[in-house]
Chains A and B, each alone.
Chain A
């Protein structure tokens, strides 16, 4: 088993991942070139940065591919603790230096990392591991429900006060999903729901810009130059592509009409250049990688594997749905990146690490000879 890793790992999943990374690279270059010229007078600036992040992601992904995922189970609590420590560190760091307005970034030497991405990763591992080890007392409030719920809530709260409301929400959603799938009592889950609902309301009331973002959703033509500028430009960008698209590199809107054409709104540029047909193919690839990931996870040899795979696959797909939902005006503007396409190291490393772990799970599952469909 250890000698034929390549034959053993799931080929379709690997191929779709490589396709997405490759397509993402091309789209990223096209989308970022105008902004790179405007900011750095160098069209390849973001393209090269993206390439470096892909390489870093591939190294980390390869590491998790080689590492037996079951080893994570034993260190899961420590990983979760590290996640919380990193979040606190970045908050303190921000208080001391006062350089950034938000504490989303943690600088370690020349690297800037988003501790929230790591925290998300840590929570998925921790919850999967906890549920796997406490199968018998899952329905017990003190022994089975409160410890994971508290760790999760602490993390979510720290992420939200960074402030990164969107990532906090996603972590909370993922946590609830895992706890639900893992078999927690619905009564206990409803406590959690209540708590999260109250927290959300408070968070929204305390920062009015969130209300505006939500209102924009229902009335995008109001205040076109203000709060709804981004979403209006995003819709224009998508619509300008039409069915067949304007052709690669021919986006008009990326010329600084669309804000963040290389990060949060990279999908709009893809829509303008590749058209409905092109981005539908892209969306199908994202759906396939999600379904295949779930399929792999369900065949994992243990519950930790089941939940870890499901958690990681869901987290990736949740980002896809939220990001594209924002881009096409279904969700309020959040600032979540699109996996494999958006510019950003933390996101790229996280998603390739997920892919590495899921491929590692696939090596140990009994899926090898099965055809590729949902069963």
Chain B
């Protein structure tokens, strides 16, 4: 017989049954792990093996109006390694040296170190790397980091204006802050698989999101002008040992800011080497009492409301005027002056006499009309309102003080735009600092255009005002700004600084506002020097020469301003005659100015190219078109299959765009 005995059979059956039972248990256990709890373990696996690498976008560049870059994104690449994870150190060292052109022994020595982490090279500029690094190639143990570092090639020039970014390349000051939503772009990411030792393994099949680079911002700033203003302002600042100084150059006809500078210096490349107070753009942020420069308000009100004629004689009380208990004096004793001489010689007593004649309602109204006490609405962070007290708080002393530019505060920016209304024939404009914003592909997202706020006074009044301020430079307090042949007009201001008990007799703010050529002004410049401590302290002596230097240098540097005289637009006064907007009386304080569409400027066409919207979703397409300011009609749903106007055709911001959308076919994953 060959079969096993019965007892063996029985006991083997027991053994088999026992082991089979365990087998069933194991299968059940595996079912529980893999099928019932599969998701839990999958999530755990994802958590330990997926690494989301964030790829920083390139920040948009800030250009000046001539496309000169004012910022640079320096892409730096760092190489580090975990030596113990590298198997073939020699070939890796050779490969790295072939990228960087250095001797491979240096890297080999570093890689043979017994430390767990070593730096091979730090912050190598991208252009020094000989080959294009393949993002998807794996070098186990080698870490390649791309670091984008913002730099400002012109350093202190325009430092406060441009601002700076933090370590994460986010704008935190100046234009970098204001336009950060445009400049910053969107970071991308990709999933990289990690192994158990933490080494990264690039796999092209894993999900990723593409980086969207930031948009370029093209400023109205002219870097040449900015440099000139910067140098002149700072030399005056140091020469007069001033507390601070600010200057601005604008185009009074378009409202574009051409240069804006503040002292003390600030270099955005090393923001933390400077006190915080130096970081701010004083032109928009700092307020001061404008002093005599404010007399244009009284003068305009007087002329516009027909209370005086430039040739009228006004009695100047021998240099003293009593208002209640207070006495206000002139710097020289005048007996009788014509109204134009009052402005020319900047007589306080004369101005107050005129102001008392027209009354506080009109002074207040014209201060408002010129834009004092309200933000100009410049696209710049931290703009100050200035201070103009409510009319009901005005008493006789207040009226007298305001008439000569005390008891109220303004920014240099407000002063510049008030004078630009005189220069351009009566229009208060909104400051423009950005010409356009465009993507790296050239799609225009924003186009700056002159924005008209209101008419301040009639053309005739403003023509007279221009003559008055021209006289000031020709033969009055602003004579130090006069350059033969340049027809500079301007007004000086010397304000006593406010101290505890009234006004200081030693500390002044010296201001000068100038523009030229007087009959067709191209440039307007404001210089404010706070607390000059030299021999001189008046606006005429301290600030006027700075404006003169600035204008002279600009003209010397480029004859354009004169040579193009024939080609430029006709004088703005001719347009003004068809302007039908009636001026309204403004009594209430508004924080923001009402913007009225300007018929004079709407004829201008600001064109851009129609972008390619095929295949975009409706929300993407709407986003792009809205940023271009276009109105949109949409038919259907899904993805864009047809667009009018066609790709690349010229469109204006009020073009009607028609899109036809269709549901997408099943996409291949």
Contacts and interface: CB of A to CB of B under 8 A. Distances in A.
B3 interface: yes
A298 B35 contact: no
Interface in B188-233: 193-197, 201
Contact of A239 (B7, B9, B33, B85): B33
A105 interface: no
A363 to B, nearest CB: 13
Contact of A38 (B7, B33, B41, B87): B87
Contacts of B8: 181-183, 298, 303, 306-307
Contacts of B38: 239-243
Interface string A297-319: 11111110011001000100110
Nearest to A261: B196
A317 B4 CA distance: 21
A76 interface: no
B26 A324 contact: yes
Interface string A229-259: 0000001111111110000000011011110
Contacts of B201: 255
Given A183-B8, A306-B8, A321 B23 contact: yes
B33 A280 contact: no
B37 interface: yes
16 contacts: A38-B85, A38-B195, A177-B15, A180-B11, A183-B8, A239-B37, A239-B44, A241-B38, A253-B49, A257-B48, A290-B16, A294-B16, A298-B9, A325-B26, A328-B30, A329-B29
B167 interface: no
A315 to B, nearest CB: 11
Contact of A314 (B3, B5, B19, B195): B19
Contacts of A242: 34-35, 38, 42
Interface in A191-238: 235-238
B7 A183 contact: yes
Contacts of A253: 45, 49
Contacts of B37: 239
Contacts of B88: 41
A286 B19 CA distance: 12
A341 interface: no
Interface in B1-57: 2-5, 7-9, 11-12, 15-16, 19-20, 22-23, 25-27, 29-31, 33-35, 37-38, 40-42, 44-45, 48-49
A300 B5 CA distance: 11
B41 to A, nearest CB: 2
A181 B13 CA distance: 10
Given A287-B23, A297-B4, A303-B8, 7 more contacts: A38-B197, A183-B8, A237-B45, A238-B34, A279-B30, A291-B20, A306-B4
B94 to A, nearest CB: 15
B201 to A, nearest CB: 7
Contacts, number: 139
Contacts of A252: 45, 49, 193
Interface in B32-84: 33-35, 37-38, 40-42, 44-45, 48-49
Nearest to B26: A324
A255 B35 contact: no
A329 B7 CA distance: 35
A257 B49 contact: yes
B195 A303 contact: no
A177 B196 CA distance: 41
Interface string A323-361: 011001110000000000000000000000000000000
Nearest to A131: B8
Which of B7, B35, B85, B197 has the largest count of A CB atoms less than 10 A from its CB? B35
A67 interface: no
A41 B16 contact: no
A180 B8 CA distance: 9
A366 interface: yes
Interface in B538-585: none
A303 B5 CA distance: 8
Given A283-B23, A306-B8, A325-B22, A276 B3 contact: no
Given A38-B197, A298-B3, A241 B49 contact: no
B91 to A, nearest CB: 10
Contacts of B27: 280, 283
Contacts of B45: 236-237, 239-240, 252-253
A38 B8 CA distance: 51
Which of B30, B42, B140, B197 has the most chain A CB atoms closer than 10 A to its own CB?
B30
Contacts of A303: 4-5, 8
A239 B41 contact: yes
Q: Which of B33, B42, B193 has the most chain A CB atoms closer than 10 A to its own CB? A: B33
A127 interface: no
Contacts of A280: 27, 30
B34 A290 contact: no
A301 B7 CA distance: 16
A181 B12 contact: yes
Contacts of A298: 3-4, 8-9, 12
Given A298-B9, A330-B26, A330-B29, A256 B197 contact: yes
A328 B31 contact: no
A301 B41 CA distance: 51
A57 to B, nearest CB: 24
A256 B196 contact: yes
B138 to A, nearest CB: 10
A299 B2 contact: yes
Contacts of A318: 19
B60 to A, nearest CB: 38
Contacts of A310: 12, 15
B33 A235 contact: yes
Contact of B35 (A236, A256, A276, A297): A276
Contact of B34 (A271, A283, A286, A366): A271
A242 B140 CA distance: 29
A275 interface: yes
Contacts of B41: 235-236, 238-240
Given A239-B42, A240-B42, A291 B16 contact: yes
Nearest to B36: A239
A318 B22 CA distance: 10
B48 to A, nearest CB: 6
B393 to A, nearest CB: 72
A300 B4 contact: yes
Contacts of B11: 180-181
Nearest to A245: B34
A34 interface: yes
Contacts of B5: 303
Contacts of B19: 290, 314, 317-318, 321
A366 B35 contact: no
A365 interface: yes
Nearest to A267: B30
Contacts of B196: 255-258
A294 B26 CA distance: 21
A318 B8 CA distance: 19
A4 B599 CA distance: 110
Nearest to A280: B27
A239 B12 CA distance: 35
Interface in A147-198: 177, 180-183
A150 to B, nearest CB: 23
A182 B15 CA distance: 12
Nearest to B87: A41
Contact of A328 (B33, B40, B42, B44): B33
A324 B16 CA distance: 18
Given A239-B41, A242-B35, A314-B19, A255 B193 contact: yes
A303 B85 CA distance: 57
B2 A302 contact: yes
Closest 10 CB pairs of A and B: A239-B41, A256-B196, A255-B195, A257-B196, A301-B2, A276-B34, A242-B38, A240-B45, A306-B4, A41-B87
A314 B217 CA distance: 79
A242 B32 CA distance: 10
B25 to A, nearest CB: 7
